Amino acid sequence: MALSRLTVTLGAAATQVTATETYVSFVRIENEAGNALVKYGESDISANDYAGSVPADTATASNGVSLGPCSANLISLHELYLIGTAAQRVHLTVVV
């Protein structure tokens, strides 16, 4: 089991977390301070059709959403997409 982190900068459209086929057992998505609401889902995500959301953050990175843990690496980061305001950053902590 290894702990890792990723920082994703959002684009103008839905942003894929990673293009590399990557499976993990746990992921925590945190919204960087000052960001607007960030939504997550699959490749067809839109502002009105998404799996869940990470609240806009204030002074700390305490607002976040956790997916998992799973007993095996079942969460596919390459199938996870984020949508929000372009150029904002989102932080992910993952366990492989």
Q: What are the average pLDDT values for consecutive 10-residue runs of the chain, which has 96 residues?
A: 91 94 94 85 94 76 82 93 93 92
**Based on the structure, what is the number of domains in the chain?**
1
Predicted TM-score of the model (pTM):
0.89
Please give the pLDDT value at position 58: 55
Please name every residue paired with 40 in a beta bridge, in sequence order, or none if there are none: 52, 82
Q: How far is CA 77 from the centre of its chain?
A: 9
Question: What is the C-alpha to C-alpha distance for residues 88 and 84, in angstroms, rounded to an integer?
Answer: 8
32: containing domain? 3-95
Please give the pLDDT value at position 57: 64
Please give the pLDDT value at position 96: 86
Are the CB atoms for 75 and 67 separated by under 8 Å? yes
CATH code of 30's domain: 2.60.120
Please give the pLDDT value at position 60: 56
Longest dimension (CA), the chain: 36
